[in-house]
């Protein structure tokens, strides 16, 4: 069975939280040994975590959060996967499985495979329990790749035809969604036209357009945030 990836550890946050408590690496290491039964934790290991050269395992992350008087989520970067979101919210897998009305084995299989297969009711419960923002919900439920495909088509053809398909994946206010799609379309077309006018030729234009499309989902959510503010 494939081992799930470690959660994204926020090394600067760990160092900052330790310093705010007036603790040295030796104090952190002692706390993890004495209170959490991790006899191998040394000051050097704590320093390695804070430098980002090594990432703590899930049990180590939980213990480190306890010593630093914070939640595990405060020691994580932006979660990407279902497992990372669950850990950042300090929710046990059995509790989440129960909340979404799913047997534990089925839930863990989805978490390990990185493929959410819950129905709409279970997806809504997942978003509620993990307090998922819409971009995270789209990513965690495996809809981001489809969203990227739709956005690619929207900016390279007629964006108006993709308002409804995009809205099915990302239920946004229609005015906001139309505004973002139109802006992305104009940005992409303008970028391509400007590249060609510089005399770069079609190859250069193709490379510039590819770079824009590679970041299309990120650009989309940035546009949504700007228009929703």
Residue 56: per-residue pLDDT: 93
Q: What is the CATH number of the domain that holds 63?
A: 1.10.260.40
Q: Are residues 157 and 128 in the same domain?
A: no
Q: Are residues 43 and 115 in the same domain?
A: no
Q: Are residues 159 and 203 in the same domain?
A: yes
Residue 209: per-residue pLDDT: 67
Domain that holds residue 196: 144-228
Residue 95: per-residue pLDDT: 96
Q: In this structure, is residue 189 part of a structural domain?
A: yes
Q: How many domains does the chain contain in total?
A: 3
CB atoms within 10 A of CB 182: 16
Residue 2: per-residue pLDDT: 39
**Domain end (from 106, 123, 140):** 140
Q: Are residues 58 and 87 in the same domain?
A: no
**Domain end (from 49, 75, 101):** 75
Residue 223: per-residue pLDDT: 95
pTM over 0.85: no
* Consecutive 10-residue averages of pLDDT for the chain (229 residues): 56 92 96 96 96 90 95 82 84 95 94 86 92 91 91 94 93 94 92 60 57 88 90
**Domain end (from 27, 49, 75):** 75
């Amino acid at each position: 069975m494939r081992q799930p990836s470690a959660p994204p550890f926020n090394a600067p946050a760990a160092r900052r939280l330790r310093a705010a408590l007036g603790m040295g690496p030796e104090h952190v290491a002692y706390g993890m040994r004495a209170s959490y039964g991790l006899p191998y934790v040394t000051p050097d290991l704590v320093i390695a975590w804070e430098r980002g050269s090594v990432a703590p395992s899930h049990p180590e992350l939980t213990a480190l959060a306890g010593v630093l008087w914070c939640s595990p989520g405060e020691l994580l970067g932006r979660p990407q996967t279902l497992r990372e979101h669950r850990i950042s919210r300090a929710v046990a897998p059995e509790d989440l499985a129960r909340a979404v009305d799913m047997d534990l084995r089925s839930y863990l299989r989805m978490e390990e495979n990185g493929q959410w297969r819950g129905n709409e009711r279970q997806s809504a419960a997942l978003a509620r329990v993990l307090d998922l923002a819409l971009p995270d919900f789209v990513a965690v439920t495996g809809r981001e790749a489809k969203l990227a495909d739709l956005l690619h088509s929207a900016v390279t053809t007629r964006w108006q035809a993709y308002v409804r398909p995009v809205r099915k994946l990302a239920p946004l206010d229609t005015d906001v969604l139309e505004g973002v799609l139109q802006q992305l379309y104009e940005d992409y077309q303008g970028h391509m036209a400007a590249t060609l006018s510089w005399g770069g030729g079609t190859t250069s234009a193709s490379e510039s357009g590819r770079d824009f499309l590679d970041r299309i989902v990120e650009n989309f959510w940035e546009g949504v945030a700007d228009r929703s503010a």
